[in-house]
């Protein structure tokens, strides 16, 4: 049973590592998503400002192109992250499945040990009952 306990501890540490890896990737994705939102807000604010200011309006097209390029780069980074997130999720699922296998094995071992202990106890009780029912010899 000690071997299975050790395997469970190792599996738990692998699950924890997989969870951290996935969490890190999801934080990066969240950062990119927030950058995309911030960029869209900035472009919207600049468009409103440029609409009311003719001197800035002339340069807004160039600014808009640069921001579109920046948005495309952020979106490309986000898209490139998706396969890594999917792979991290698969790894986490595999690690968790492995951990569950060991936990089920341990539970089965404990149940078997309990059955054996119950069986021994019942045999002892049966033996005591047989001795108590035997006539005593004098």
Q: Are 66 and 59 in contact (CB under 8 A)?
A: no
Q: Are 85 and 26 in contact (CB under 8 A)?
A: yes
Question: Average pLDDT of the chain?
Answer: 92
Q: Does pLDDT of 136 surpass 90?
A: no
pLDDT by residue (tens digit) across 72-129?
999 999 999 999 999 999 999 999 999 999 999 999 999 999 999 999 999 998 888 8
pTM for this prediction: 0.74
Is residue 137 very low, low, confident or very high in pLDDT (cuts 50, 70, 90)? low
Residue position matching structure tokens 């004098």: 138
Across the range 44-59, mean pLDDT stands at 84
- Poorest-confidence range of 33-37, 57-61, 82-86, 105-109? 57-61
Across the range 55-71, mean pLDDT stands at 88
Contacts for 95-99: CB closer than 8 Å, 24+ residues apart: 95/11, 95/14, 95/15, 95/17, 95/18, 96/15, 96/18, 98/11, 98/14, 99/8, 99/11, 99/12, 99/14, 99/15
Q: What is the pLDDT of residue 38?
A: 97
Q: Does pLDDT of 132 surpass 60?
A: yes
């Amino acid at each position: 049973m000690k071997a299975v306990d050790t395997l469970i501890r190792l599996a738990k540490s692998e699950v924890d590592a997989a969870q951290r890896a996935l969490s890190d990737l999801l934080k990066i994705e969240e950062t990119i998503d927030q950058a995309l939102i911030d960029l869209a807000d900035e472009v919207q604010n600049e468009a409103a400002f440029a609409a009311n200011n003719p001197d800035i309006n002339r340069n807004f097209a160039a600014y808009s192109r640069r921001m579109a390029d920046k948005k495309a780069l952020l979106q490309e980074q986000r898209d490139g992250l998706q396969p890594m997130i999917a792979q991290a999720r698969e790894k986490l699922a595999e690690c968790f499945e492995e951990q569950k296998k060991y936990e089920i094995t341990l539970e089965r071992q404990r149940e078997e040990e309990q059955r054996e202990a119950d069986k021994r106890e019942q045999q002892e009780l049966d033996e005591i009952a047989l001795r108590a029912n035997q006539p005593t010899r004098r």
